[in-house]
Chains A and B, each alone.
Chain A
Amino acid sequence: MDNLFLKIDSKENELFLIFKGEFTLYQIKRYQNLINEIKLTKYIKVIIDLEDLTFIDTGSSIYINNLYNKILLKDIKVIIKSNNSNILDTLSLVRKIKQTDKPLLYDKKRGFMDSLGKVTCNLFSGFFSFLAFFGELFLNTLSLFKSTKNFRYKEILFEINESTIKALPIIALASLLVGVVMAYQSANQLSLYGANIFIVDMLGLSMLRELSPVLTAIIIAGRSGSSYTAQIGAMKITQELDAMRSMGFDPYKFLVLPRIIALMLMMPVLIFVSDTMSILGGMIVADLNLGISFNLFIDRFNNVIELRHFLVGIGKGPFFAFLIALIGIYRGLKVKDDTQSIGYNTTKSVVESIFAVIICDAIFSIIFTNLGI
């Protein structure tokens, strides 16, 4: 493959291109470079000598053919010399197809305005398709109330186990560590002022009201929301969704609602676990670093942290759960018939649901502040 088998010779105003051995795809570039260096206009006749060629593949034949046409266009005589019928057959096959053939043009790259317009248009139609999804979901939710038979207990319980119970260990561990870190970081500052005991207020308020719900929501968005997208997306690619529809099983009733209901039911429980574990983490640090015993901590906790703080945190749960499940499933249904779109939509699903959770949290905090809760 490494040896060059092209000899270039000239006699007066005749140019000889003598090919030897095998001519395949891998040699074209080097031969091309050599031949392009020749000033063809000096000659009146070019002889492409393939007599000693043992094998030619179609790619190389295309090259020979192009070369032939290129030289011909310059009003120079060209002759292809060969006796080998295989080589002549390949050359004539290439020529025959070339004649019936329009040249291949790639799609042009889009200009800036063009792609800006496309993005805007996509965003706009994406918004409407989300509304359509929302509407269909609403209609299907209504049908739940028509008959208890529409309520799919088995699927809901399955989803509760899959997407929430199995998430408990990771949520517990993450919350414990966040509690430890928060307490540890503030312990130093608080002890400077001798305000050791206020660690209870600080941890209790921040964890119960804000951090636990958001932390839980982010973990669930990354863990369960993404799996909704990937699962439903893969089902769409393998046409399982179409099969369900054709058998009269509405995917909304079988796939969408159970997931949303399961997550909405269980999110408060998850947040409760997160609350408990993060406060436990704080208690451990308070005991070790600030000398506040467990009893003292719990005593203070009872006095300063009102029930409403806990309820505010827990109450956010179902809303976050709804957003996560909604976006996860919507993205899953948006998957198109190619493998890349699963990855694309899963990424989108996680990013969008975390963003939605944070926006929702901000809105809640404005509402609660104004209401004085």
Chain B
Amino acid sequence: MDSIIKIKNLKTSFGEKIIHDGLNLSINKGEIYGLLGPSGCGKTTLLRQIVMLEKFDSGTIHILNDNLDDISMNKAQLLRQKWGIVFQFGALFSSLTIAQNIALPLKEYTDLDDDMIKDIIAFKINIVGLKVSDANLYPSEISGGMRKKAALARALALDPQLLFLDEPTSGLDPISARQFDKLILNLRDLLNLTIVMVSHDLKSIYDTLDRFAVIDDKKIVYEGTLDNISFINNEFIKTFFKGSY
């Protein structure tokens, strides 16, 4: 399979503190890829670096055939339309309704007329499992689970090839969390997405991930499928998976 994201020898530091020291990983097209690791190991930082929200010291990140190190402004802008991001707390624009939140990228980046946009919004709202009647509610009027779904709908507005999720199930009750997992699996199949997520939720890791990387002590200590995890001699992996594999 061809890889859609390739990271080589990535180094990051915040002042004196070194976060990543020679990180390598590659994410294939069509898979659900997880970034795991103890808290503070730089998973979210890595995710933010991949989507150009944060800089890195050295190394290369290739994403969809673009090298983030020497990317032009125009190319970066085009790249941003090819992915969707769901932030940990949704990050919906609080002054806009759900429908307006989803309509925003459509209005900015396409020349579609209002009827067409309405149809697309209704479709996205449905596909993430919200009701069309909720479309005119504001983010402050809906529950945490709905907020995540609405954020997902916004991320999917432009039909991205890549979807980034930052702790998608955190803060959700177990039932909503499992529904969200199913939703992610469904969407991957329906829309041919490649999904990269940071997660701490063991159940969701077992259920959804195809492959994952474990970051510990500034490096990738494991990259691959769940099957081989038990052979890895690492403290975090042993405690995290508790020998259940």
Judge: A and B partners, yes or no: yes
Asked whether B190 lies within 8 Å of A93 as measured between CB atoms, the reply is yes
In Å, the complex CA distance between A340 and B129 comes to 28
Residues of B contacting A66 with CB < 8 Å? Answer: 116, 119
Chain B residue nearest to A97 in the complex (CB): B126
Asked whether B140 lies within 8 Å of A25 as measured between CB atoms, the reply is no
A102 interfacial by beta-carbon distance below 8 Å: yes
In Å, the complex CA distance between A337 and B133 comes to 22
Interface extent on A, as a size class? 20 to 34
Q: Can you list, as one digit per residue, whether each of A245-258 has a CB less than 8 Å from chain B (1) or not (0)?
A: 00000000000000
Give the residue of B97, B118, B123, B192 whose beta carbon is less than 8 angstroms from that of A86. B192
Residues of B contacting A12 with CB < 8 Å? Answer: none
Instruction: Using A28-B110, A58-B123, A339-B95 as known contacts, say yes or no to A103 and B158 having CB atoms under 8 A apart.
Output: no
Instruction: Using A58-B159, A104-B122 as known contacts, say yes or no to A339 and B94 having CB atoms under 8 A apart.
Output: yes
Interface extent on B, as a size class? 20 to 34
Q: Can you list, as one digit per residue, whether each of A164-202 has a CB less than 8 Å from chain B (1) or not (0)?
A: 000000000000000000000000000000000000000
Give the residue of A62, A86, A107 whose beta carbon is less than 8 angstroms from that of B120. A62
B79 interfacial by beta-carbon distance below 8 Å: no
Asked whether A107 lies within 8 Å of B94 as measured between CB atoms, the reply is no
Residues of B contacting A338 with CB < 8 Å? Answer: 94-95, 138-140
B104 interfacial by beta-carbon distance below 8 Å: no
Asked whether A24 lies within 8 Å of B159 as measured between CB atoms, the reply is yes
Asked whether A26 lies within 8 Å of B110 as measured between CB atoms, the reply is yes
- Min Cβ gap B72→A in Å is 16
Asked whether B192 lies within 8 Å of A25 as measured between CB atoms, the reply is no
What's the dominant secondary structure at chain B's contact region?
A: helix
A59 interfacial by beta-carbon distance below 8 Å: yes
Chain A residues numbered 63-111 whose CB sits less than 8 Å from any CB in chain B: 63, 66, 86, 89, 93-94, 97-98, 100-104, 106-107
In Å, the complex CA distance between A30 and B127 comes to 26
Asked whether A97 lies within 8 Å of B99 as measured between CB atoms, the reply is no
Asked whether A28 lies within 8 Å of B112 as measured between CB atoms, the reply is yes
In Å, the complex CA distance between A231 and B122 comes to 39
In Å, the complex CA distance between A63 and B119 comes to 9
Other contacts beyond A58-B124, A62-B119, A103-B118: 15, CB < 8 A: A24-B159, A25-B110, A29-B113, A58-B120, A58-B159, A59-B106, A63-B116, A66-B119, A94-B123, A100-B126, A101-B126, A106-B118, A107-B97, A338-B94, A340-B94
Query: Can you offer 27 A-B residue contacts whose CB atoms are under 8 A?
Result: A24-B159, A25-B109, A25-B120, A26-B110, A28-B110, A28-B116, A29-B110, A29-B112, A29-B113, A57-B159, A58-B120, A58-B124, A58-B127, A59-B120, A59-B159, A66-B116, A97-B127, A101-B122, A102-B133, A103-B118, A104-B121, A104-B132, A106-B136, A107-B97, A107-B136, A338-B94, A339-B94
